[in-house]
Amino acid sequence: MKCTLKYLFGELKPAGRIFILLMALFVIVSSLFMPSIIIFALISALFAVVASLLITHVLSSRKYSIEPEMTKEVIKSIKHFKYVYLMGHKRADFDSFGACAGIYAICRALGKESHIIMGTDIFAVKDIYDKFAINKEYDGVFVTSAEAEKKIDSQCLVILCDTHASRLVESSVAIEKAGKTIVLDHHKESGQPVEGAEKIFIKTYFSSCCELVAAILSSCLVKPSSLEAEALLAGMMVDTRNFGINSGEHVFSTAAYLCRCGADSVAARMLFKSTMALERAKANAVESSKMYKKGVIFSVCDSSHKNVYLACARAADELLDIKGVEASIVMCRYSGTVYVSARSNGRIDVESILKRVGGGGHITMAGAQFENKDIQTVDTLLKKAVDEYLTEVN
């Protein structure tokens, strides 16, 4: 009985609860003044209860139609905590940024104060970030890592998007200080996972973290704003290389859903405009590339550009468009660190190659970083990893 009552009142929406209370009041009043219609009133009340239960059941089963466990956990936790902090990986990209913007929409719908933590290097997402920054609706939403670390305590929930590796997290202090951390990622397990995260959801069948977040949004029937939908679409476009890879029916239906929410695909495409310096660095990397073996091409992106690793990633993308290239591996060195971007058309598993040298990612897209090593040493390590991989698969 206690359970039934809890179910009746706990699961019902406020309107359903008021409806039941009104019916109960109707029964009491009619029994006092018009005993003859008690039976009619009781039947009406019973009917109302059954109808409300059915409606609630239909609504709740529809509510979490996609990834019910993950969606339920995210919603339950957001409701439970006083503040929510959303965070991506270091050197934010469109996917981590878009995913945070999508979760922000859920927090807003649930009336929860939430903030998006922005690191120091936001070059890659500057254009979309600026669109949010000039919009008054997002006043005070973005905070720096230092501000967040000061404010976060046990009353705060942290949701980490697009990575689960501790070395890539924007702020590990935020996770340490928060009451709870949930991780939403689509990358294969790579490296040491973040410590102190209560729930880690790694769903590798999603093309991007943005697609994963869009699934949560549609599952809990929260509509993102058109700008948030644009950020989510941009994230999906980056991780699917403009719908060139990992783009099945589910990716296109998610893109259609985001367009229905107001995302402008042309505006999203415009976000990818490059700078002349980056394009030059990319072109140099493409020109100096050398085929290693079995369609694996190597190159070095030689530039003093502050964001050379972006040119490196784009060069790796572009090399894949060359006939005969199955996988591309591009290296660059910036402030003591060697960055590696690897791409593949799906026939060579670059994740398996980079995992051997401490990197991670996906079959078609992977990366690695090496501190205190020179390009030559990294080049040798990578070629050894390629050899090992090729012997293993052939």
Q: Which residues bind Mn ion (CB under 5 A)?
A: 95, 162, 208-209, 239
For 310: left if phi > 0, alpha if psi spans -120 to 50, otherwise beta; the answer is: alpha
Enumerate residues 6+ apart whose C-beta is below 8 A from 258: 214, 224, 229, 230, 232, 233, 236
At closest approach, how far in Å is the CB of 162 from Mn ion? Answer: 4
Query: In this complex, which beta carbon is closest to Mn ion, that of residue 213 or of residue 381?
Result: 213
Asked if residues 90 and 145 have their Cβ atoms less than 8 Å apart, the reply is no
DSSP secondary structure letters along 146-183: HHHHHH--TTEEEEEES--BGGGBS-HHHHHHSSEEEE
Q: Nearest-CB residue to Mn ion?
A: 95
Query: How many angstroms from the chain centroid is the CA of residue 365?
Result: 16
Query: In this complex, which beta carbon is closest to Mn ion, that of residue 162 or of residue 379?
Result: 162
Angle in degrees, 0-180, between the axes of helices 209-219 and 249-260, rounded to the nearest 10: 60
Give Rg (Cα) of the chain.
26
Query: In this complex, which beta carbon is closest to Mn ion, that of residue 209 or of residue 366?
Result: 209
Query: In this complex, which beta carbon is closest to Mn ion, that of residue 172 or of residue 208?
Result: 208
Query: In this complex, which beta carbon is closest to Mn ion, that of residue 212 or of residue 301?
Result: 212
Q: Which two tokens stand for residue 198?
A: 């209560």
Q: Is 332 helix (H, G, I), strand (E, B) or coil?
A: strand
Beta bridge partners of 85: 115, 158
At closest approach, how far in Å is the CB of 339 from Mn ion? Answer: 16
Q: C-alpha angle with apex 254: 361 to 193, nearest 5 degrees?
A: 30
At closest approach, how far in Å is the CB of 380 from Mn ion? Answer: 29
Query: In this complex, which beta carbon is closest to Mn ion, that of residue 209 or of residue 234?
Result: 209
At closest approach, how far in Å is the CB of 239 from Mn ion? Answer: 5
At closest approach, how far in Å is the CB of 208 from Mn ion? Answer: 5
Q: Which two tokens stand for residue 140?
A: 């005070």
At closest approach, how far in Å is the CB of 67 from Mn ion? Answer: 17
Q: Which two tokens stand for residue 71?
A: 């969606």
At closest approach, how far in Å is the CB of 207 from Mn ion? Answer: 8
At closest approach, how far in Å is the CB of 89 from Mn ion? Answer: 8
At closest approach, how far in Å is the CB of 4 from Mn ion? Answer: 45
Query: In this complex, which beta carbon is closest to Mn ion, that of residue 209 or of residue 325?
Result: 209
Q: Is 343 helix (H, G, I), strand (E, B) or coil?
A: strand
Q: Is 299 helix (H, G, I), strand (E, B) or coil?
A: strand
Rounded to 5 degrees, what are φ and ψ at 162?
Answer: 70, 10
Query: In this complex, which beta carbon is closest to Mn ion, that of residue 83 or of residue 309?
Result: 309
Query: In this complex, which beta carbon is closest to Mn ion, that of residue 208 or of residue 225?
Result: 208
Cα four-point dihedral sign 209, 211, 212, 217:
positive
Which has the closest alpha carbon to 94: 143, 130, 129?
A: 129
